[in-house]
Amino acid sequence: MNSAPSARRGIVAPLRWTSLRLRLVVVFALVALTAAVSASGIAYWLNREAVLTRTQDAALGDFRQEMQNRAASMPLRPTQAELQTAAEEMAHGNDDFSVLLIGERAEGKPIVGASDPDIFTLDDVPGSLQEAVNERQDITAGNSAAYHLFWQRTERRGKPYLVGGSRIVGGGPTGYLFKSLDQERQDLNSLAWSLAIATLLALVGSALLAQAAATTVLRPVHRLGEAARQLGEGKLDTRLRVSGTDELAELARTFNKTAESLEKKVADMSAREESSRRFVADMSHELRTPLTALTAVTEVLEEEADSLDPMIAPAVNLVVSETRRLGDLVENLMEVTRFDAGTARLVLDHVDVADQVTACIDARAWLDAVELDAERGIMARLDPRRLDVILANLIGNALKHGGSPVRVSVRTVGDELVIEVRDHGPGIPEEVLPHVFDRFYKASASRPRSEGSGLGLSIAVENAHIHGGDITAANSADGDGAVFVLRLPRDGSPLTDSEAVGADDADSDGTEGSGSSSDRGEEGAQ
């Protein structure tokens, strides 16, 4: 069986934060974002350094050349006009920067010549740069010049600039250049935007690729999940279509083998269970005929018991009791097979619950041993015969293994009918409580035999389940006895199948109302 349609529905389902698909997309996106941001950051940094270094080297190289060609040829004590003319010529020779020349017309009397005083003055030169330019270096084997060219990047009114300076070796003016880096910043900003857009496109592309990859990877997972769900619902013929040789294909093959093995085992178990049910049912039916004859004989023997030899009377009484016990066991086994086969049906009627409980107690002569706390007028729509079976087993169980008095209380909780049966015995051992409704459960290996069939409580709880209710067993809070609580819906109509009503009656032969009490020595010894 191919579960691809359901898988496709799962693929297009909205993403949830807990979904594997979303996590895959997020991981892909984060990896792509990290890689793209790292690559863009490195690219931007390398390009920035390359652009600024190239511009800076070109400007400083031109400035150095102009200082050698023009400023070095000036007299040692130039005039103001000479400095101004030289600065203008140096700037006009290269329109990329402004020039400022500082000389001395006399010792300690500096003069300044600027190519464009409105753009570049001595105040625009950082003090640290002036100190570095004017500092005389020691002449060493590795340093042949007393003064060097220094530069610094700075900002003025939010715009970046390159400021450089140098001094003529051997005497002469000191020169400074002032170059705007605004064009380079604009170029770098354009590059940054381009890299940001590329990063965003890479992120979107990675998300799309992640979605495609997740779809490819998760489609088999969705199919496997759908197939597992169908298998859990009992569709044991569910199989996956296997394609490819990867790990997912191997997983699909393993699933198919497991499903095939499970189907075979379940089929074998079902066949054995059906065979066992059929055997019990056939055996029960076959035993009814000789049991009918035995019952008739035992009834005659019981009537003549008073006239029998005293030596024979105990044997006759044993035969009578064991025959009745065997009859109860056969009837209970037939009832169990109906529940196992799913053929048990409800025959609903409107009943007064108090009257029903009273009739059950009166029919078994328990009026003197049972206290009833039930208001008349509590009506319920249920199967009176099955309710009688439940009550007979619970009350009989309490009388046999509990302590008197046995109290039966009836109340309603919303749309639910609650019947509580409480005795005053020693209670049920804690290790036995989980098993009190198990079939043929014996609380002690030393008690393999009892008067009951060992099926009473299990039949009672099955009758509760068919009504849509349940029975619970517990010890009373004060430690004085056990408490069995029966809960049934007051209206069992939604549970009935109108076409199947009476199907169970045709086969029951009135056996459900046997009222045989269970043996708590087998199902929950106190």
Quote the pLDDT of residue 448: 43
- Contacts from 350-354 at CB under 8 Å and sequence distance 24+? 350/379, 350/380, 350/381, 351/379, 351/380, 351/381, 351/382, 351/384, 351/387, 352/376, 352/377, 352/378, 352/379, 353/378, 353/379, 353/380, 353/410, 353/417, 353/419, 354/378, 354/410
Strand order in the sheet with 109-114: 109-114, 97-106, 174-180, 159-167, 150-156
Quote the pLDDT of residue 4: 42
Contact between residue 437 and residue 491 where contact means Cβ atoms under 8 Å apart = no
Beta bridge partners of 160: 155
Contact between residue 163 and residue 63 where contact means Cβ atoms under 8 Å apart = no
Contact between residue 100 and residue 83 where contact means Cβ atoms under 8 Å apart = no
Residue found by looking up tokens 């009578």 in the block? 320
Q: Classify burial at 436, counting beta carbons within 10 Å of its beta carbon; exposed 0-12, middle 13-18, buried 19 or more.
A: buried
Give the residue from 96, 99, 65 showing the smallest Cα distance to 84: 99
The contacts of residue 423 (CB under 8 Å, 6+ apart) are 398, 399, 401, 402, 403, 404, 406, 407, 481, 482
Quote the pLDDT of residue 107: 74
Q: Read off the tokens for 211.
A: 């979605």
Q: Read off the tokens for 1.
A: 């069986």
Kindly report the CA angle at 372 between 482 and 494, in degrees rounded to 5? Answer: 85
pLDDT values of the chain reduced to their tens digit, one per residue, 526 residues = 444 444 444 434 444 545 667 777 788 778 888 888 888 888 888 888 888 888 888 888 888 888 887 777 787 788 888 888 888 888 876 667 888 888 877 777 888 888 888 888 888 888 888 888 888 877 777 777 777 888 888 888 888 888 988 887 767 788 898 888 888 888 888 888 988 888 888 888 887 887 787 777 777 778 888 888 888 888 888 888 887 777 778 888 888 898 889 888 888 888 877 777 777 677 767 777 787 787 787 777 777 767 767 777 778 778 777 777 777 777 777 777 777 767 778 888 999 999 999 999 998 888 888 999 888 888 999 999 989 999 998 998 888 888 778 999 999 888 899 999 999 888 888 888 888 888 777 654 434 445 555 788 888 888 898 888 999 999 988 878 899 999 999 887 887 654 344 444 434 433 343 444 444 433 433 3
Residue found by looking up tokens 């060493």 in the block? 140
CA 194 centroid distance within chain: 42
The contacts of residue 18 (CB under 8 Å, 6+ apart) are none
**Following DSSP, what letter does each residue of 482-520 receive, concatenated?**
EEEEEEEESB-GGG--TTTTTHHHHHHTTGGGG-PPP-H
Give the residue from 473, 476, 444 showing the smallest Cα distance to 461: 473
Q: Read off the tokens for 80.
A: 């103001």
Helix (H) or strand (E) holding 475: strand 470-475
CA 442 centroid distance within chain: 41
Contact between residue 72 and residue 90 where contact means Cβ atoms under 8 Å apart = no
Kindly report the CA angle at 214 between 211 and 215, in degrees rounded to 5? Answer: 85
Residue found by looking up tokens 């690729």 in the block? 209
Give all domains of the chain, ordered by start, each with its CATH number: 77-179 (3.30.450), 264-342 (1.10.287.130), 345-523 (3.30.565.10)
Integer Cα distance of 80 and 361 in angstroms: 134
Distance linking the first and last C-alpha atoms of the chain:
53
Is the bond leading into 405 cis (omega within 30 degrees of zero)?
yes
Quote the pLDDT of residue 182: 83
Residue found by looking up tokens 């300690």 in the block? 108
Give the residue from 192, 194, 195, 209 showing the smallest Cα distance to 29: 209
Quote the pLDDT of residue 357: 92
**Following DSSP, what letter does each residue of 33-47 receive, concatenated?**
HHHHHHHHHHHHHHH
Residue found by looking up tokens 């996590």 in the block? 23
CA 154 centroid distance within chain: 58
Rg of the chain over Cα atoms, rounded to whole angstroms, equals: 52
